[in-house]
Amino acid sequence: MNVLIVYAHPEPESFNGSLKELAVDTLTGEGHQVQVSDLYAIKWKAVLDDDDFTDRMNTEIFNPIMEQVNAVEKGAIPHDINIEMDKVIWADLIIFQFPIWWSNFPAILKGWVDRVFFNGFAFNLAEMKLYDNGPLKGKKAMLSFTTGAPRELYSAQGPHGEIEILINYFNHVLFEFVGMEALPYFGVFGHGDLSLEEREQKLDDYKEILKKLD
């Protein structure tokens, strides 16, 4: 199996970094092929803007959705985006590894989605290639994340609200929208308050999940 890990944390020695390295080592050890897009390391441009489109179909009004289709048809996709698209095409499974900040992806990861999941590539509005008919059908996706707050704060009674609502948003409106199958997530809640033994247990838990991926 080909696995792409899209990794979004600015500190390599973070717990997210440990989860990413564990995934690489475990999946490789199981015989899978692994690539990592380390977004901070490559200084990924997070903002979708008109600089991404050098051969515009409309130079007066910037419509990114239409310009994406135009860029795909003309083969005018920026080099950095094209590299990531090739990885998406190659991958059977995409794992997003990230910390939840402000109840969402870090901006750099959201920017990866904005710029890579082109209309005309990951979905196609004109041809209604969405959800069960999405262009990335047959691929799988998985969220692996950490939170600063403990699980009880991400509950229906907690101040942050039930995290399953957020997870469903990621899985359904992102992964399933483009045709991918969303696998169960792996989350480490309140990781900063965990003991060394508890952190090691979380790593062991994740390793067992990774070994069962097929």
What are the start-end ranges of the E strands in the chain? 2-7, 33-38, 93-99, 140-146, 181-182, 186-188
Report for 53-57, 95-99, 192-196: range of highest mean pLDDT:
95-99
Reported pTM:
0.95
With 90 as the cut, is the pLDDT of residue 156 above it?
A: no
pLDDT band for position 19 (cuts 50, 70, 90) = very high
Whole-number percent of the chain with pLDDT over 90: 86
Please identify which of the residues 7, 111, 120, 154 carries the catalytic annotation. Answer: 154
Q: What is the mean pLDDT of residues 171-181?
A: 96
| Annotated catalytic residue 191 | no
Q: Which of 54, 73, 55, 53 is nearest to 64 (CA)?
A: 53
Distance from C-alpha of 115 to C-alpha of 66, rounded to nearest angstrom: 13
For residue 212, is pLDDT > 90?
Answer: yes
179 is catalytic: no
Sorted by sequence, the CB contacts under 8 Å of residue 105 that are 6+ apart come out as 8, 96, 98, 113, 170
Write out pLDDT tens, residues 103-131. 899 999 999 999 999 999 999 999 999 99
- The one catalytic residue in 160, 161, 185, 190 is 160
3-class DSSP state for residue 142? strand
DSSP-assigned letter for residue 184: P
> Is the CB of residue 182 less than 8 Å from the CB of residue 171?
yes
What is the band of 74 on the pLDDT scale with cuts at 50, 70, 90?
A: very high
The one catalytic residue in 29, 148, 169, 192 is 148
Length in residues, the chain: 214
- Taken in order of first residue, the domains within the chain and their CATH numbers are 2-211 (3.40.50.360)
Q: With a cut of 90, say whether residue 160 has pLDDT above it.
A: no
CA 119/CA 127 separation, integer angstroms: 10
Write down the pLDDT at residue 203: 96
